[in-house]
Amino acid sequence: MTRNQLPEVLSPAGDRERLEAAVRFGADAVYLGGKEFGMRSSPLNFTAEELAAAVGDCHARGVRVYVTCNTVPTNEEMERLPQYLKSLERAGVDALIVADIGVMALCKRISPGLELHISTQAGVANYVTATELFHMGAKRVVLARELSLADIARIRDKTPPKLEIEAFVHGSMCMSFSGRCLLSNYLVGRDANRGECAQPCRWGYHLMEEKRPGQYFPVFEDEGGSYILNAKDLCMLGHVDQLAGAGVDSIKIEGRAKSAYYVAVVTNAYRLAVDEYARDPEHFVLPEWLEDEVRKVSHRRYDTGFYFGRPEDGQCYENGGYIREYDVVAVVDGWEDGTLLCTQRNRFFPGDELEALAPKSGFVTVFPQRILDENGQELDAARHPMQKICLPGLPPFPEGTILRKRQDG
């Protein structure tokens, strides 16, 4: 099998650090946003200059770049959009992710060199819609997250072969259909459909219904209230073979607002899973250690979403928080004269048990016995984030290797 016959691993890139993590740890493509028009309006994202540089670096390493333009623009924004589209085409962006039919038409007219990918915000849930979008110029549809594998297989069977199918396979789920939620706007004036979601579905609530005797709702767990709207996180890592069998061309990892560590670990896991599938598609079995990898990032309890039918227990009622068991303590910069050169991220001590996760590889357990500063002075601990440190006696690991420590270790 060639890579082209396998699902593309598509990773999020909220900023330059996350972009580097995605590319280094095995993404075939990344999706990112500019300062406007995308569904993540954090202060990160990319300026025009940063975006052009990112595209050049990604293309030099064989990675494609898709840019989000999937809000519903206002009249005022539409006036600025043509110039933005032209700048994306000049930068060499591979595709534009859109949800609005006007944006789609404008892009075809102004920047015909850009592929058009239809965002999950458009809620594509059937083969007729997918086919019509293809005839309108779409190269790819990012399907609604509420579809089963059987639904996807039918869409694949009944749409033009040249239409690509993309599906979310990992990360946060929304309690509203395809992300079309009004809660955030209603409660705090932050519009989820314009990239400003405050995630009120993760908050604790008290609910009283006085006119439905005999109907009981799990609306409280403790004095903190109940998280009745809080969805579990999606994880399809062990089902790469079934995703490919249903005709999914691109498996998409959610998380442009997540950490670079999250992007690195989850991208690495799906890269290795796809490569494992490629070795023997008929007998794919996910290695147990690889299944554990995605539990070493901050996450909510995992679920397979709608892929195997309507979820029996897709909500997490106990709390709205994350499970977090590991900290990144350092990132490898290089190796020289028997010494690992690193940049420190979180505190650790000589003799601590660490896991070294190299790009596109499994982890190795190491026990650094000494920690030196960049001047060779002995340290009793690595205490200062972003400090340059040296770890004598450790084997060489490639640049970007992550050193992590279990929180209770």
pLDDT of 214 over the 80 cut = no
Write down the mean pLDDT value for the chain: 88
Q: What is the per-residue pLDDT across 151-199, written as a single tens digit (0 to 9) for each?
A: 999 999 999 999 999 999 999 876 565 556 666 665 677 766 656 676 7
For domain 326-406, which CATH number applies: 2.60.120.650, 2.40.50.140, 2.40.30.10, 2.60.120.10? 2.40.30.10
Q: Which residues contact 336 (CB under 8 A, 6 or more apart)?
A: none
Percentage with pLDDT > 90 across the chain: 70
The per-residue pLDDT for 77 is 87
Q: HSE, CB side, 13 Å, CA atoms: give it for residue 244.
A: 24
Q: Is 405 helix (H, G, I), strand (E, B) or coil?
A: strand
The per-residue pLDDT for 230 is 67
CB 277 within 8 A of CB 41: no
The per-residue pLDDT for 189 is 72
The secondary structure of the chain in percent helix, strand, coil, rounded to multiples of 5, reads 30, 25, 45
The per-residue pLDDT for 45 is 81
CB atoms within 10 A of CB 193: 19
Architecture of the CATH domain 3-176+234-296:
Alpha-Beta Barrel (3.20)
Return residue ranges of the chain for CATH 2.40.30.10: 326-406
- 94 vs 221: which has the higher pLDDT: 94
Distances (CA, A) of 354 to 111, 191, 228, 363: 49, 41, 37, 10
Q: What is the per-residue pLDDT across 374-386, written as a single tens digit (0 to 9) for each?
A: 999 999 999 999 9
- 229 vs 148: which has the higher pLDDT: 148
| Residue of 349, 354, 350 whose CA lies nearest to 366 | 354
Q: How many helices (H) and strands (E) does the chain have?
A: 10, 18
Retrieve residue 47's tokens: 């300026």
The pairing of beta strand 363-366 with beta strand 354-357:
antiparallel
Dist CA 347 CA 372 (whole Å)? 14
pLDDT of 308 over the 50 cut = yes
- In eight-state DSSP terms, residue 42 is S
pLDDT of 330 over the 90 cut = yes
CB 149 within 8 A of CB 242: yes
Q: Which residues contact 72 (CB under 8 A, 6 or more apart)?
A: 99, 100, 193, 194
Q: What is the per-residue pLDDT across 353-402, written as a single tens digit (0 to 9) for each?
A: 999 999 999 999 999 999 999 999 999 999 999 999 999 999 999 999 99
pLDDT of 4 over the 50 cut = no
- 126 vs 39: which has the higher pLDDT: 126
Return residue ranges of the chain for CATH 3.20.20.70: 3-176+234-296
Distances (CA, A) of 285 to 11, 244, 295, 364: 23, 14, 18, 22
Q: Strand (E) positions, 74-137? A: 95-98, 115-118
| Residue of 231, 226, 225, 140 whose CA lies nearest to 179 | 231
pLDDT of 78 over the 60 cut = yes
CB atoms within 10 A of CB 339: 18
- Reported as a pLDDT band with limits 50, 70 and 90, residue 1 is very low
